[in-house]
């Protein structure tokens, strides 16, 4: 009986551990869904790894910035793990550019630009299976509508609309790492990529 009980416990534990790994695998590989050529709006990205915040305010772009205004940019955690270990972008990477308005230009800390409200959402995905013909296998999507709501699904933007500029001007595998200190400092630097392990602000490579 004791043996049977142990066996049952062990089997239950194996099942439980298997479920844990299955759940983790599901989360890691289920970051985006493309159906009938349309990408469903990704979720959960504010818990991914932040890589940098470019700012193109309307008041510095004749009242109409191409990408208004703050761009909070994230990379999925699985891709981040490969980036910090190997310095390369995995097939299946997804980046999120969440757009935020300028809320104010004055604060107790001084004059500047301070983040206001969410106004849009743009996505890039590197996926050789879905986008074999796109340069670098990167495709680009916008879920932005009127600055108050987001689309539920959307198709990839034409190659010349986004990819061409990334191909020509982005510093590393179609990513504008020249504006993303987290990715620049973290490329292949292992645990130092996560911050604070090295007193030198630019980690040794």
Q: Which residues in the 79-138 window bind its own copies by CB under 8 A?
A: 80, 96, 98, 100, 103-104, 107-121
Q: Which of 28, 50, 187, 188 binds its own copies (CB under 8 A)?
A: 50
Q: Does 30 bind its own copies (CB under 8 A)?
A: no
Scan residues 152-171 and list those touching its own copies (CB under 8 A): 152, 165, 169
Q: Which stretch binds its own copies (CB under 8 A): 4-12, 85-93, 124-132, 134-142?
A: 4-12
Beta-bridged to residue 107, according to DSSP, are 110
- The dihedral over CA atoms of 175, 119, 42, 24, expressed in degrees to the nearest 10, equals 80
Q: How many CB atoms within 10 Å of residue 88?
A: 14
Q: Which two tokens stand for residue 28?
A: 């890691």
Q: How many CB atoms within 10 Å of residue 139?
A: 22
CB of 132 to its own copies, least distance (A): 26
Specify whether the CB–CB gap between 81 and 194 falls below 8 A.
Answer: no
Nearer to its own copies, 70 or 131 (CB): 70
Dihedral of alpha carbons 166, 60, 106, 201, sign: positive
CB of 67 to its own copies, least distance (A): 5
Nearer to its own copies, 128 or 194 (CB): 194
CA nearest 28: which of 60, 96, 76? Answer: 76
CB of 128 to its own copies, least distance (A): 24
CB of 137 to its own copies, least distance (A): 21
């Amino acid at each position: 009986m004791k043996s049977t009980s142990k066996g049952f416990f062990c089997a239950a534990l194996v099942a439980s551990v298997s479920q844990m790994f299955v759940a983790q695998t599901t989360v890691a590989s289920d970051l985006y869904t493309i159906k009938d050529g349309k990408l469903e709006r990704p979720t959960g990205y504010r818990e991914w790894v932040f890589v940098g915040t470019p700012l193109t305010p309307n008041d510095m772009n004749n009242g109409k910035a191409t990408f208004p205004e703050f761009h909070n940019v994230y990379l999925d955690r699985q891709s981040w793990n490969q980036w910090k270990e190997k310095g390369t972008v995995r097939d299946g990477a997804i980046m999120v550019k969440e757009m935020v308005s300028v809320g104010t230009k004055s604060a107790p800390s001084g004059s500047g630009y301070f983040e206001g409200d969410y106004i849009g959402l743009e996505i890039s995905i590197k996926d050789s299976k879905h986008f074999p013909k796109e340069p670098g296998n990167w495709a680009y999507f916008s879920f932005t509508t009127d600055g108050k709501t987001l689309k539920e699904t959307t198709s990839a933007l034409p190659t010349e609309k986004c990819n061409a500029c990334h191909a020509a001007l982005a510093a590393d595998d179609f990513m504008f790492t020249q504006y993303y200190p987290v990715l620049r400092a973290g490329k292949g630097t292992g645990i130092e990529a996560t911050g604070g392990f090295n007193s030198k602000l630019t980690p040794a490579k």
